[in-house]
Structure 1
Amino acid sequence: MASQTPPPLLLLLLLGWGGDSLQERPNFVLMMVDDLGIGDLGCYGNTSLRTPNIDRLAQEGVKLTQHIAAANLCTPSRAAFLTGRYPIRSGMSGSSRPGVFLFTAASGGLPPREVTFAKIAKQRGYETALIGKWHLGLNCGSSQDHCHHPHAHGFSFFFGVPLTNLRDCQPGHGTVFQIHKYLPYGTMGAVLLSAAALHLSGAWRLRRGLLLGLPVLVLVLAGLTAGFVWTVPYLNCVLFRDRTIVEQPFRSENLTQRMTREAVSFMERNSARPFLLFFSFLQVHTAMFASAAFKGSSRHGVYGDAVHEVDWSVGQILQTLGRLGLREKTLVYLSSDQGAHLEEEVHGGSNGVYKAGKSTNWEGGIRVPGILSWTGTIPAGGEISEPVSNMDLFPTVVGLSGASVPQDRVIDGHDLMDLLQRRRERSQHQFLFHYCNSYLNAVRWHPPNSKLTPDPPPDPHGGGLMVPFVPAGTSVWKAFFFTPNFYPEGKAACFHTHVCFCTPDYVTYHHPPLLYDLSRDPSESRPLTADTEPAFWAVLAAMEEAADSHRRSVQPVQSQFSADKLMWKPWLQPCCSTFRQLCRCQQDRP
Structure 2
Amino acid sequence: MLHLDLPWSWLAVTFSVLLCLKPSTSSDVSGSRPNILLLMADDLGIGDIGCYGNNTVRTPNIDRLSEGGVKLTHHITAASVCTPSRAAFLTGRYPIRSGMVSSSGYRVLQWAGASGGLPTNETTFAKILKDNDYATGLIGKWHLGLNCESSNDHCHHPLNHGFDHFYGMPFSPMADCAYWELSEKRVSLERKLSLCFQMVAFAALTLVAGRLTGLTWGSWMPVILSTIAATVLLMAWYFVGALIVHANCFLMKNYTITEQPMRLQRTTSLILEEVSSFLKRNKHGPFLLFVSFLHVHVPLTTTENFLGKSHHGLYGDNVEEMDWMVGQILDTLDKEGLTDSTLIYFTSDHGGSLESQFRNNQYGGWNGIYKGGKGMGGWEGGIRVPGIFRWPRMLPAGRVIDEPTSLMDVFPTVVQLGGGQVPQDRVIDGRDLLPLLLGNVQHSDHEFLLHYCERFLHAARWHQRDRGTVWKVHYMTPVFQPEGASACYGTAVCPCSGENVVQHDPPLLFDLSRDPSESHVLTPATEPSFYQVMERVQQAVEQHQQTLHPGPLQLDMLENIWRPWLQPCCGPFPLCWCDREDSRQ
TM-score band, normalised by the shorter chain?
0.7 to 0.9
Q: Distance in 1 between matches of 2:521 and 2:193?
A: 39
Q: Distance in 2 between matches of 1:220 and 1:252?
A: 30
Alignment of 1:82-121 (within 5 A): 82-121=90-129
Q: 2:551 aligns with which of 557, 561, 572?
A: 557
Counterpart of 1:385 in structure 2 is: 402
Counterpart of 2:248 in structure 1 is: 236
Counterpart of 2:354 in structure 1 is: 342
Q: 1:344 touches 1:497 (CA, 8 Å); kept in 2? A: no
Q: Cα deviation per residue 1:252-285 (whole Å; 9 max; x = unaligned)?
A: 1131222112111111111112000000001101
Alignment of 1:359-508 (within 5 A): 359-360=375-376, 361-451=378-468, 475-508=469-502
Superposed displacement of residue 58, structure 1 = 0.2
Superposed displacement of residue 525, structure 1 = 1.5
Q: Cα deviation per residue 1:162-184 (whole Å; 9 max; x = unaligned)?
A: 10001111133453114269739
Q: Distance in 2 between matches of 1:92 and 1:348?
A: 25
Q: Distance in 2 between matches of 1:172 and 1:562?
A: 27
Counterpart of 1:292 in structure 2 is: 304
Superposed displacement of residue 317, structure 1 = 1.3
Q: Cα deviation per residue 1:70-96 (whole Å; 9 max; x = unaligned)?
A: 111100000000000000000101112
Q: Distance in 2 between matches of 1:174 and 1:218?
A: 28
Superposed displacement of residue 219, structure 1 = 8.2
Q: Distance in 2 between matches of 1:146 and 1:71?
A: 25
Q: 2:167 aligns with which of 154, 159, 165?
A: 159
Taking a change above 3 Å as real, the CA distance of residues 181 and 476 of structure 1, as seen in their structure-2 partners, is: farther
1:60 is the counterpart of 2:54: no
1:583 is the counterpart of 2:576: yes
Q: 2:29 touches 2:394 (CA, 8 Å); kept in 1? A: no
1:353 is the counterpart of 2:361: no
Stretches of structure 1 lacking an aligned partner (at least 5 in a row):
1-17, 197-205, 452-474
Q: 1:32 touches 1:336 (CA, 8 Å); kept in 2? A: yes
Q: Distance in 1 between matches of 2:47 and 2:252?
A: 32
Q: Cα deviation per residue 1:420-450 (whole Å; 9 max; x = unaligned)?
A: 0000010100000000011111001111213
Taking a change above 3 Å as real, the CA distance of residues 188 and 539 of structure 1, as seen in their structure-2 partners, is: farther
Taking a change above 3 Å as real, the CA distance of residues 123 and 441 of structure 1, as seen in their structure-2 partners, is: same
The alignment partner of 1:257 has SS state of helix
Q: 1:238 touches 1:245 (CA, 8 Å); kept in 2? A: yes
Q: 1:328 aligns with which of 317, 320, 340?
A: 340
Q: 1:256 touches 1:281 (CA, 8 Å); kept in 2? A: no
The alignment partner of 2:173 has SS state of coil
Q: Distance in 2 between matches of 1:148 and 1:433?
A: 26
Instruction: Provide the TM-score with structure 2 as the length reference.
Output: 0.87
1:277 is the counterpart of 2:286: no
Q: Distance in 2 between matches of 1:374 and 1:381?
A: 12
Superposed displacement of residue 488, structure 1 = 2.3
Superposed displacement of residue 570, structure 1 = 0.9
Counterpart of 2:53 in structure 1 is: 45
Q: Distance in 2 between matches of 1:547 and 1:159?
A: 39
Q: Cα deviation per residue 1:174-223 (whole Å; 9 max; x = unaligned)?
A: 53114269739789989999xx9xxxxxxxxx99x999x99999887555
The alignment partner of 2:306 has SS state of coil
The alignment partner of 2:432 has SS state of coil
Counterpart of 1:308 in structure 2 is: 320
The alignment partner of 1:230 has SS state of helix
Q: Distance in 1 between matches of 2:570 and 2:399?
A: 49
How many residues get paired? 541
Q: 1:96 touches 1:502 (CA, 8 Å); kept in 2? A: no
Q: Distance in 1 between matches of 2:122 and 2:548?
A: 15
Q: 1:240 touches 1:246 (CA, 8 Å); kept in 2? A: yes
The Cα RMSD (Å) is: 2.8
Superposed displacement of residue 537, structure 1 = 1.1
Q: Cα deviation per residue 1:384-416 (whole Å; 9 max; x = unaligned)?
A: 000000000000000000111000000000000
Paired residue type of 1:509: Q
Q: 1:513 aligns with which of 494, 502, 507?
A: 507
Q: Distance in 2 between matches of 1:421 and 1:409?
A: 28
Q: 1:96 touches 1:503 (CA, 8 Å); kept in 2? A: no
The alignment partner of 1:368 has SS state of strand
Q: 2:252 touches 2:259 (CA, 8 Å); kept in 1? A: yes
Q: Distance in 2 between matches of 1:159 and 1:53?
A: 24
The alignment partner of 2:458 has SS state of strand
Q: Cα deviation per residue 1:477-501 (whole Å; 9 max; x = unaligned)?
A: 1011110011223211111111101
Superposed displacement of residue 159, structure 1 = 0.5
Q: 2:107 touches 2:454 (CA, 8 Å); kept in 1? A: yes
Q: Distance in 1 between matches of 2:541 and 2:431?
A: 19
Consecutive aligned runs of 4 or more in structure 1 exceeding 4 Å deviation: 18-21, 184-193, 213-223
Taking a change above 3 Å as real, the CA distance of residues 83 and 218 of structure 1, as seen in their structure-2 partners, is: same
Q: Distance in 1 between matches of 2:199 and 2:333?
A: 64
Counterpart of 2:535 in structure 1 is: 541
Taking a change above 3 Å as real, the CA distance of residues 217 and 156 of structure 1, as seen in their structure-2 partners, is: closer
Taking a change above 3 Å as real, the CA distance of residues 151 and 216 of structure 1, as seen in their structure-2 partners, is: closer
Paired residue type of 2:459: A
Q: Distance in 2 between matches of 1:558 and 1:374?
A: 39
Paired residue type of 1:29: L
Superposed displacement of residue 108, structure 1 = 0.7
Q: 1:254 touches 1:290 (CA, 8 Å); kept in 2? A: no
Taking a change above 3 Å as real, the CA distance of residues 351 and 20 of structure 1, as seen in their structure-2 partners, is: closer
Q: Cα deviation per residue 1:362-399 (whole Å; 9 max; x = unaligned)?
A: 11100001000000000000110000000000000000
The alignment partner of 1:130 has SS state of strand
Taking a change above 3 Å as real, the CA distance of residues 491 and 219 of structure 1, as seen in their structure-2 partners, is: farther
Counterpart of 1:465 in structure 2 is: none
Instruction: Provide the TM-score with structure 1 as the length reference.
Output: 0.86
Q: Cα deviation per residue 1:138-179 (whole Å; 9 max; x = unaligned)?
A: 011111111111000111010001100011111334531142
Q: Distance in 1 between matches of 2:298 and 2:581?
A: 24
Q: Distance in 1 between matches of 2:166 and 2:523?
A: 51
Taking a change above 3 Å as real, the CA distance of residues 547 and 181 of structure 1, as seen in their structure-2 partners, is: farther
Taking a change above 3 Å as real, the CA distance of residues 520 and 216 of structure 1, as seen in their structure-2 partners, is: farther
The alignment partner of 1:446 has SS state of strand
Taking a change above 3 Å as real, the CA distance of residues 243 and 532 of structure 1, as seen in their structure-2 partners, is: same
The alignment partner of 2:265 has SS state of coil
Alignment of 1:137-216 (within 5 A): 137-177=145-185, 178-179=187-188, 183=192
Q: Distance in 2 between matches of 1:191 and 1:536?
A: 58
Counterpart of 2:12 in structure 1 is: none
Superposed displacement of residue 557, structure 1 = 1.2
Q: Cα deviation per residue 1:321-370 (whole Å; 9 max; x = unaligned)?
A: 12222222111000000000112224111100111100122111000010
Greater shift in the superposed pair: 569-578 or 28-37: 569-578
Q: 2:75 touches 2:384 (CA, 8 Å); kept in 1? A: yes
Q: Distance in 2 between matches of 1:317 and 1:282?
A: 15
Q: Distance in 1 between matches of 2:196 and 2:412?
A: 54
Q: Distance in 1 between matches of 2:309 and 2:438?
A: 37
Taking a change above 3 Å as real, the CA distance of residues 394 and 62 of structure 1, as seen in their structure-2 partners, is: same
The alignment partner of 1:63 has SS state of strand
